[in-house]
Amino acid sequence: MARTLTRDLTEGKPLKLILSFAAPLLFGVLFQQFYSFVDTAIVGRYLGPDKLAAVGATGSVNFLVIGLCLGLCSGFAIPVAQAFGARNEAEVRRSVFHAIVLSAVLSVIFAVSASLLCKPLLRLMNTPEEIIDDSASYIRIIFAAIPCCILYNMASGILRSLGDSRTPVLFLVMASLINIVLDLFLIIVVKMDVAGAAVATAVSQLLSGIGCVIVMVRRFPILRMSREDRVFSLPMAKHMLGVGLPMGLQFSITAIGAVVVQWSVNGLGVSAVAAISAASKLSMFFACVFDALATTMATFAGQNVGAKKLDRVHEGLKAASRIGVVYCIGAFVVVLFFTRPMLGLFIDPAAAPDVTDMGVRYLTICAAFYIPLLFVNIVRLTIQGMGFTRVAMFAGLFEMVARILVALVLVPALGFTGACLANPAAWIAADAFLFPCYFRTMRTLRMRLMPGQEAGKLPEKRGLRVLKRAA
């Protein structure tokens, strides 16, 4: 089988494979967060807290729409990984072709509809009137550039499914540097205000996507399609959508809860919005390890399910868990001692001491619950990589309900501290569903792929057996 830059995750020690595959992913995610970090710092430092709040107020609605797109791209990559693990080159090419066609059509639909609805959504979220025009100016450009976002994420998802976690990172680093330069130029020199930050993001995504596509075409013989590979099949398209849509909807369902929380935070005033905007950027930076491990587990699980090596999926999840827990402890220690100076990158503590104090409180509370966040990421993406994207979608429903309850009950009662508890409550609620779900889906796969073998091979606790019977 021609492989070149492809990588087989179905052989070798899971811990070593996961570390080596996740390392370039982590570098890429860190760099992505770095330019997002710089983006926010430039807006906060050069345009002021109100402009920072305007960009931050779009966070949840951005997640609502862009999350749907990212979930679709991740879902489309799963059949590719499974076909590659099964050594079925023709199926790999057919899956890639349908992913390209579906991504192109959906990107245009999402871009047009989201751009038209952005301001009504911001009003629905109770966005403060003094920042709503700037918020709309920023998010409208982000939504119009959805095809650029989908291009990169679709191409990088396919490359990772084939075992190449490095190429997407290389182009992401290049695009990140361009983004930073454009940020400085468009905001400081051209005076485009918050719209400059949005344009810089769109251009960088376009360039990184084009780079990934060029590598796919030139350096992956497995993707060189014949006329038969480029025949559109409605059943195949339905299968791809059946995997991709639940993953996209999972992000959107989760985002609905975030929108309700944002609505409640907007009611606390511009200072609260600015504090969470800055602290969330830092929290996302710390969460890069979770993202890298989760993406790794989706590919690792997909390839090994395709190869019918279910024991390796379980061993891989244990290895990722050990890596993640050690990191969570270290991250919390760093947050305890260095949050205030880190927030100073976004906010002048002397000019806005109240914003800094709230930001410290938000990040400290979130970091104390990073272990539940770790498992939300790696367990959910493992389940999705195994092919159970519809089941994993319900974890987003649990997150949504938890965030809504916090927004409607704790924020009115506790104010800003209540808003700080929204994410931890969502992570714990999702884990309560995901752990029993994982064991149940693993048992289902054993019976489906290896019907002659013992189904209950995985170690289980009595409580989990009861939960599985109930499910």
Of the pLDDT bands very low, low, confident and very high (cuts 50, 70, 90), residue 431 is: very high
Of the pLDDT bands very low, low, confident and very high (cuts 50, 70, 90), residue 351 is: low
Q: Which of 42, 4, 6, 97 is nearest to 299 (CA)?
A: 6
**For the ranges 119-133, 155-169, 255-269, 404-418, which has the lowest average pLDDT?**
255-269
Cα separation of 93 and 83, whole Å? Answer: 9
Contact 285, 33 (CB under 8 A): yes
Torsions phi, psi for 165 (to 5 deg): -95, 0
Residue 461 reports pLDDT greater than 70? no
Quick one: the chain helix, strand, coil %, rounded to 5?
85, 0, 15
Contacts of 445 (CB under 8 A, 6+ apart): 305, 310, 386, 387
pLDDT tens, residue by residue, 216-227: 888 888 888 888
Any idea which residue has 């919005």 for tokens?
273
**For the ranges 49-53, 330-334, 411-415, 444-448, which has the lowest average pLDDT?**
49-53
Residue 250 reports pLDDT greater than 50? yes
pLDDT top residue among 162 and 351:
162
| 167: three-class secondary structure by DSSP | helix
DSSP string, 15-59: HHHHHHHHHHHHHHHHHHHHHHHHHHHHIIIII-HHHHHHHHTTH
Evaluated on CA atoms 449, 455, 459, 461, the torsion sign reads positive
Q: Which of 465, 402, 393 is nearest to 436 (CA)?
A: 465
Please give the C-alpha separations between residue 297 and each of 300, 379, 382, in angstroms, as whole numbers: 5, 8, 5
pLDDT tens, residue by residue, 168-213: 888 888 888 888 888 889 988 888 888 888 898 889 889 888 988 8
Of the pLDDT bands very low, low, confident and very high (cuts 50, 70, 90), residue 41 is: confident
Q: What is the mean pLDDT of the chain?
A: 82
Residue 425 reports pLDDT greater than 90? yes
pLDDT tens, residue by residue, 374-397: 999 999 989 988 888 777 778 878
Whether the pTM exceeds 0.75: the reply is: no
DSSP state of 188: I
Contact 392, 384 (CB under 8 A): yes
